[in-house]
Amino acid sequence: MSETHASTVSYVRDAMLPQAAPPVGETGAIRWVRENLFPTWLNAILTVVSLLAVYWVLSHILPWFLNGIWTAKSLTECRQIRDATLGPDASAACFAVISDRWQQLLFGFYPNHLYWRPVLALVLFLVAVAPILFSGLPRKMLMVSAVVPFAMLWLLWGGSIWGVLSVAAGFGLGYLGFALGSKYLGALVGALAAILVPVFWWIFAASAAAQIMQGIVPISIEAVSSKDFGGFMLSFIIGVSGIILSLPLGVLLALARQSDLLIINKTAVTFIEVIRGVPLIVWLITASLLLNYFLPPNANLDLLLRVIIMVTLFASAYMAEVIRGGLAAVPRGQYEAADALGLDYWKSMRLIILPQAMKISIPGIVNTFIGLFKDTTLVVFIGLFDPIGLASAIRASTDWNGIYWELFIFIGLLFFVCCFSMSRYSIFLERKLQTGHT
């Protein structure tokens, strides 16, 4: 370096500076607030307005919650406690109605001394669905899952155990009809036999067989009529039954709608479009008032059973369209690959096509399940005492006449827990199966 140039340079760094911390405004909460709440002047205004709205709502709701009264026998007593402790102008919720009537909201008019039966049925249900929802559990537990629904049926309704076993026998006969029909007359005949044989058995022979066996070996527990079912238990029974039954029926309808056989295709299309084209409340009224006219003279289906059948058919029509969308999203090459492997129709569907279609359809399937579970509240219009119907009955009593929000918040919380759980499981399953394209 020349002497003239060296004299013009005051300092030349010969070592790296140590790493310094970033500015305070570029890290942590301050950065997040600036980027997400105040990135522009418009967003800043909207943030301030939103915070004021949240503050206004919480300032009115929180005192009502925090001052809640949990011990009282009537709304009048609640108000007397509020006036004595907080003042007549204070805002206080009367949650005592939940403390006083929670059993009725959960179990309806189910006998008090038999509450252990629906509780045990719920425990068995959770045990049964565990190996279905979580693949890490032993596959042998699926045998328990196949038996538990019949045990739950007996626990909830009681009566002779042979009535439940006769229902289970219908499924065994259906499987036998499918196996024999498929072996000797073709897959189509086998499928029809799997449907028609159990139906005829249940309508014409199951009741008589149960009575004969009960006369030979009497085994029974205290029977409970369906009219005593109510509250959240009723909604849970209808919702879970519709969910479990509508999924396989929806798969069959989706496959039938894509069938090349004219009769099967048009029958499936007609069923799906007719069911989806009419509101659920109309079908429930049909189940309540008209369905018995289409049954044999001696057949008298229980109202709750009729509702479950109609809810299942309604949900299966929507499920069929969701699954049909998944089938349409499977690349055509997958169908061709199944043909190239020499697989017949049922094996290609079971091993290659349906697993991919079901994986794609997970969000739509769970969305249908959640909608179905919430729609169980519509049974109030046909005289069944679901949680909404019981809330109206409770509010009509002299003790709790005039109470509103406390009951509906409790009911909404129960539905939220169930629906949110289904939603979170859907997300878990999507991540596990890596649904979608990366």
Residue 281's Cβ-side half-sphere holds a number of Cα atoms within 13 Å equal to 6
Residues 76-85: contacts with CB within 8 Å, 24+ apart?
Answer: 76/399
Residue 340 corresponds to which amino acid?
A: A
Which tokens in the block code for residue 65?
A: 């919650």
- Reading the block at residue 279, the tokens are 């509101």
Rounded to two decimals, the pTM is: 0.83
Alpha-helix runs per DSSP H in 222-279: 231-257, 262-276
Show the tokens assigned to 168: 């289970």
CA-to-CA separations, 244 to 52, 238, 241, in angstroms, rounded? 45, 10, 5
Q: What are the C-alpha distances in Å from 123 to residues 127, 233, 431?
A: 6, 13, 27
Q: Considering the chain, tell me which residue range(s) the CATH 1.10.3720.10 domain(s) occupy.
A: 226-438
Structure tokens at 176: 């036998």
What are the tokens at 419? 């629906």
φ, ψ (nearest 5 deg) of residue 2: -70, 155
CA 73 to chain centre: 34
List C-alpha distances in Å: 111 to 118, 158, 176, 317, 371.
11, 12, 39, 36, 30
Residue 211 CB burial class (10 angstroms; 0-12, 13-18, ≥19)? middle
Question: CATH code for 226-438?
Answer: 1.10.3720.10
Two structure tokens written together for 383: 């005289």
Q: What is the dihedral of CA 61, 63, 65, 66, to 10 degrees?
A: 150
Please check whether residue 292 is in contact with residue 301, taking contact to mean a CB–CB distance below 8 angstroms: yes
DSSP code per residue over 270-294: HHHHHHHTS-HHHHHHHHHHTGGGG
Give me the pLDDT at residue 437, please. Answer: 47
Question: Please, what are the averages of pLDDT over each run of 10 residues along the chain (438 residues)?
Answer: 55 76 72 83 91 92 89 89 86 89 91 93 91 81 86 90 90 87 77 84 86 88 89 92 91 88 88 91 84 64 85 93 90 85 82 88 91 90 86 88 89 93 89 64
> At 184, is the secondary structure helix, strand, or coil?
helix
